[in-house]
Amino acid sequence: MQVRNHHDLWAGLMFIAFGAIFMILSQQYQIGTAAKMGPGYFPTILGGLLALLGLAISLSAFAKSNHEAKVAPTGWRELILILLAVILFAATLPQLGIVIALLVLVLVSSLASHEFNLRDTILGAIFLIVLTYVVFVKGLELQFPLWPKFLTA
């Protein structure tokens, strides 16, 4: 038994996991009957189907007829920096306001590029913040806290 298609193996296992989680969580809700379905009915069926399908897919990863595929390496640097930038934006926005939140977002996310350039990044950040202010805050009147709370209060 050798894994030929790593994509299928992991996708299948992921489906099994999702299916099982949803099935287990559904058990805390009323299942009901076919004529009177409770909130647990449909998710239980779907979760079961997904887990079965996942099993079939992960088994097919061993099939001789399946084409070979390896999972490409994860770009941790890009993944973490981009997600971190978004998380920091959301974390800072309510207290520190949109100007600082956007500055953080642009600076942190720019680090993810392999050709990072500090001068361009800062110019870009300023341009984007002004653009956001003109278009979203003034033009479209979307509601944002603009500046840090301790300054405006």
Partner 1 sequence: MDQLFSNLALGFATAATLDNLFYCFIGVLLGTLIGVLPGIGPLATIAMLLPITYKMTDPVTALIMLAGIYYGAQYGGSTTAILVNLPGESSSVVTVLDGYQMARRGRAGPALAVAAMASFFAGTVATFLLAAFAPPLAEVAFKFGPAEYFSLMVLGLIAAVVLAHGSIWKALGMVILGLLLGMIGTDVNSGVARFSFDVPELSDGVEFVAVAMGMFGFAEIILNLEQKENREVFTNKVNNIFPRWPDMKAAFPAMFRGTALGSLLGILPGGGAVLSSFASYAIEKKISKTPQEFGKGAIQGVAGPEAANNAGAQTSFIPMLTLGIPTTPVMALMVAAMMIHNIQPGPQVMTSNPTLFWGLIASMWIGNLMLVILNLPLIGLWVKLLSVRYRVLYPAILLFCCVGAYSINNNVFDVFMTIPFAILGYVLKKLSCEPAPMLLGFVLGKLMEEYLRRAMTISRGDWTVFFTRPLSLTLLILAGILLVIVFLPAIGKKREEAFASDD
Q: Of residues 15-34, which lie at the interface with partner 1 (CB under 8 A)?
A: 15, 18-19, 22, 25-26, 29-30, 33-34
Three-state SS sequence of 10-74: HHHHHHHHHHHHHHHHHCCCCCECCCCECCCHHHHHHHHHHHHHHHHHHHHCCCCCCCCECCCCC
97 near partner 1, rule: CB under 8 A: no
Q: How far is the CB of 78 from partner 1 (least distance, A)?
A: 4
Does position 100 interact with partner 1 (CB under 8 A)? The reply is no
> How far apart are the C-alpha atoms of 81 and 28, rounded to whole Å?
38
Whether the Cβ atoms of residue 32 and residue 40 lie closer than 8 Å to each other: yes
Binding to partner 1 by residue 147, rule CB under 8 A? no
134 belongs to the binding site for partner 1 (CB under 8 A): no
Q: Please report whether residue 153 would count as binding partner 1 according to CB under 8 A.
A: no
Out of 46, 62, 122, 148, the only residue in the binding site for partner 1 (CB under 8 A) is 46
Q: Exactly one of 96, 99, 100, 105 binds partner 1 (CB under 8 A); which one?
A: 105
Among 27, 117, 138, 146, binds partner 1 (CB under 8 A): 117
Of 107, 98, 100, 104, give the one whose Cα is nearest residue 132: 98
Considering only 20, 31, 93, 122, the residue that binds partner 1 (CB under 8 A) is 93
97 vs 76: CA distance, rounded Å: 29
